[in-house]
Structure 1
């Protein structure tokens, strides 16, 4: 204890309030015991000087003199006030406060913060509670102490359908490549004067204001306009944004609005009715007999069974019974079913079916040729078997059970059809041609602007009209190219999905990759992996 008391003998400290510093003095004392920096710092804390800003260089000199019996007076520590900095974000909408803690000196005051804000030109949007909390904490790092008013950007224009369950001719694949199974339902019929669709114009938005009071203009929304010549429709006299039915028929959502297609209804199609070729949609309440043909520019809906008949639709086809084709038969012509949208049926047997969107079959697809641009799904409420034949889809083929225990050959092709790459190249070439035309017209208009009177007015007007049409066409082509490119990218994640089982005899192809199923496999997905086309757990499906 005596030795501890002798440590520090001859060492004294004095706080000089004028220079705001701690002065340490060493006077030689024969009884003094050596000390180190740790002891010195602890001693300062005991004396109530621990919060001051310690000066290491002065401390080293002090210790050297003390431990060697020398004499010295040094400034060992000093009082340092808290530091403060205000930074404004690049968009001018937020002010950030940084506080460096005080070391024995004065802390930051509210008045100092407000003065710093005023100096920066900030007198509005000040957050008093945030300032008080930062001051109470004694330190702060990028604390928001003032905010401006961000602009409210305009919302894009949109079309609101005023009808339930309207069929669409717009592709329904989302960004993940998924298309939900759904019953296409009955064809909806509208009559003259019925409300179809309401256009909501784009909004301009609301100005924002920076912390310095400078206005921030909003981004206006992108407007949507009805397409020209929406067949079977008219506009409400009192409201040009309200689309009405002009005829009785089936409403169909198309790009740029909605059309109403004439609707042809017949009890059944056979020798008594003859073949049907209709500009619009067709509803067959009963069956379509063998050898008959039904063609429609819109949708086709059949309440019964289609047997060895030809169906062609610009839209979707719904067969509430089933489709029985003539594939594999020795006699008779081959009959095909083809549509630009989705195909839906209860079952299909020996049928050749092609859909521009997706194919949905509830029960069984037996010895069929199925081709869909997006998805094929067999199985909803019923068995969901694909047995034999060939199925080809860009994004996915899904069934509860694929193949059969007796090893029936079942060929499944996924991924991009080579024609899609060819189509993309042709679209790029066509777009380049139109962009070159637009460039030449732009040169003409630029020349006319710089040389008034040298180009006839009618030629200028024609050039402007052509330029506008070309611009719209190029924008539409660019959008189509983006959709096709995205589909090609999604196709690399294509899957064949067996939700319950897949049997030997099933063969999956993707480009030049091939996977043959061996034995009976349980629920699984088959797709492209780092090891090529291979089986994977169902949880890994895209």
Structure 2
């Protein structure tokens, strides 16, 4: 009987629990009950898990299924930890091609050929232009293992906004903008906007043309066929050949320009050069040089050629108020034209303004006449179409009046400039030679005999040479 009881001993269902080495998995294996032993319930299984220390990531649905049906001596995953999700790094996005800034590339034409004068040496930006943006790093999400221990996530690394000189960040710190107009530069660490573009060397096929929103300094020479355009001033420390230089400010040429009848200088301010030869020159202010030879030169104020040779010979020079020179013309009678007055373009602008004012006044009178006609009637009696027409006419009247007033103001300023021409003069500290044509305003005089140490003015409609 004793042996029979031992053989029929009741054995309840049991489990063997394991935890993976990284503590991220809990594994359960069921041992079958014997002789009508008790089967574990959901509660029993959870209690066993707790005893083992498995408290997190318990797979409730798996337990529920295992209570209903299971294989014995088979391992089931009963709990899973959750890996930490590290935060994402912030991302910096440059609003320009950094390789394009580093390496000059010729401009491709429509026919597929390239222009090696256009090498995009300068990337211009304007105030307020977006230079770079960044996204914020994220915190990440902590994980846990089956023992309930926290696995800390690593926060993403913040991207650095590459704030350099003449740039500013937005209020939220996510965007970088240009604070000034100028040349965009990037050194791999910071973004800068430089208001001065300095070319250390010659402007030639190795650099290409320059078009810049600030000031330009060339330490070498400017070779034939190339162009500099600058919103600010331009300084060239070497020579200038058959090139074009256009500046919103001043132009400074340490060694002058030999233009070969193709060179051109245009400045909103002054032009100062060692010499000017075979070149077309236009300055909004003064032209100051030691010699003007066979060139067409106009200045919005005065032309001063007193130091060095102090020579004006060949071509034509024109200033609004004053021409100062040591010598004008040559003993050989070289045809040379000097003029006190405004450039022909100014006369053309004056006439064009006159015509435009007349046209705009005519349009204004037509609008006022139509408004007056419609207002004679009660607005209540106007049909919707005429009411719409009246509103349209009234909307147009104000801006047109403002346009006419602005044009009249510009017209009066030009008229004053043209009247001031009468007060201009030409002063020669040495000699003016035969062959020189002098024009002051609309009056012309040809120099037949050499005159020394003299001043030329217009008096009572006649050009007079005095001492």
Please, what TM-score do these two structures have when normalized by structure 2?
0.51
Aligned equivalent of 1:507, options 436, 455, 459: 436
Aligned ranges 1:237-386 → 2 under 5 Å? 246-249=179-182, 264-267=197-200, 268-276=202-210, 278=211, 280-296=213-229, 298-313=231-246, 315-327=248-260, 334-339=261-266, 341-379=268-306, 382-383=307-308, 385-386=310-311
Deviation for aligned residue 1:374:
3.8
Relative to structure 1, the CA distance from residue 443 to residue 292 in structure 2 (aligned partners, 3 Å threshold; closer, same or farther) is: same
Distance 1:460 1:495 in 2: 56
Distance 1:419 1:505 in 2: 29
Deviation for aligned residue 1:339:
2.1
Deviation for aligned residue 1:248:
3.9
Aligned ranges 1:1-150 → 2 under 5 Å? none
Query: Is 1:535 aligned to 2:462, yes or no?
Result: no
Instruction: Tell me the residue number matched to 1:225.
Output: none
Note the alpha carbon deviations across 1:63-87, whole angstroms, 9 max, x for none.
xxxxxxxxxxxxxxxxxxxxxxxxx
Relative to structure 1, the CA distance from residue 191 to residue 314 in structure 2 (aligned partners, 3 Å threshold; closer, same or farther) is: closer
Which SS does the other structure have where 2:255 is aligned? Answer: strand
Greater C-alpha Rg: 2
Deviating more after overlay: 472-481 vs 500-509 = 500-509
Distance 1:448 1:263 in 2: 59
Tell whether the 8 Å contact from 2:361 to 2:404 is kept in structure 1 after alignment: yes
Tell whether the 8 Å contact from 2:457 to 2:464 is kept in structure 1 after alignment: yes
Deviation for aligned residue 1:473:
1.8
Deviation for aligned residue 1:495:
1.5
Instruction: Tell me the residue number matched to 1:392.
Output: 317
Gaps of 5+ in 1: 1-189, 194-231, 238-244, 251-259, 328-333, 538-542
Distance 1:320 1:326 in 2: 13
Tell whether the 8 Å contact from 2:443 to 2:461 is kept in structure 1 after alignment: no
Note the alpha carbon deviations across 1:136-155, whole angstroms, 9 max, x for none.
xxxxxxxxxxxxxxxxxxxx
Note the alpha carbon deviations across 1:259-311, whole angstroms, 9 max, x for none.
x99765533421110123x2634503323422132242623412313422332
Deviation for aligned residue 1:373:
4.1
Distance 1:414 1:426 in 2: 22
Tell whether the 8 Å contact from 1:342 to 1:355 is kept in structure 2 after alignment: no
Relative to structure 1, the CA distance from residue 317 to residue 336 in structure 2 (aligned partners, 3 Å threshold; closer, same or farther) is: farther
Gaps of 5+ in 2: 1-124, 129-165, 172-177, 184-192
Instruction: Tell me the residue number matched to 1:432.
Output: 358
Which SS does the other structure have where 1:322 is aligned? Answer: coil
Instruction: Tell me the residue number matched to 1:494.
Output: 424
Distance 1:434 1:462 in 2: 17
Distance 1:459 1:299 in 2: 47
Deviation for aligned residue 1:337:
1.8
Relative to structure 1, the CA distance from residue 363 to residue 397 in structure 2 (aligned partners, 3 Å threshold; closer, same or farther) is: same
Which SS does the other structure have where 2:350 is aligned? Answer: helix
Aligned ranges 1:414-453 → 2 under 5 Å? 414-417=340-343, 420-450=346-376, 451-453=378-380
Relative to structure 1, the CA distance from residue 421 to residue 404 in structure 2 (aligned partners, 3 Å threshold; closer, same or farther) is: closer
Deviation for aligned residue 1:376:
1.8
Instruction: Tell me the residue number matched to 1:39.
Output: none
Deviation for aligned residue 1:478:
0.8
| Structure with greater contact order relative to length (CA < 8 Å, sep ≥ 6) | 2
In the alignment of these two chains, the number of paired residues is 283
Tell whether the 8 Å contact from 1:384 to 1:400 is kept in structure 2 after alignment: no
Tell whether the 8 Å contact from 2:443 to 2:463 is kept in structure 1 after alignment: no
Deviation for aligned residue 1:422:
4.2
Please give the root-mean-square deviation of Cα atoms over the aligned residues, in Å.
4.0
Instruction: Tell me the residue number matched to 1:155.
Output: none
Relative to structure 1, the CA distance from residue 419 to residue 320 in structure 2 (aligned partners, 3 Å threshold; closer, same or farther) is: closer
Relative to structure 1, the CA distance from residue 362 to residue 384 in structure 2 (aligned partners, 3 Å threshold; closer, same or farther) is: farther
Tell whether the 8 Å contact from 1:395 to 1:414 is kept in structure 2 after alignment: yes
Deviation for aligned residue 1:468:
2.6
Tell whether the 8 Å contact from 1:348 to 1:368 is kept in structure 2 after alignment: no
Deviation for aligned residue 1:385:
0.6
Query: Is 1:470 aligned to 2:362, yes or no?
Result: no
Tell whether the 8 Å contact from 1:515 to 1:534 is kept in structure 2 after alignment: no
Distance 2:295 2:236 in 1: 21
Deviation for aligned residue 1:341:
1.6
Instruction: Tell me the residue number matched to 1:71.
Output: none
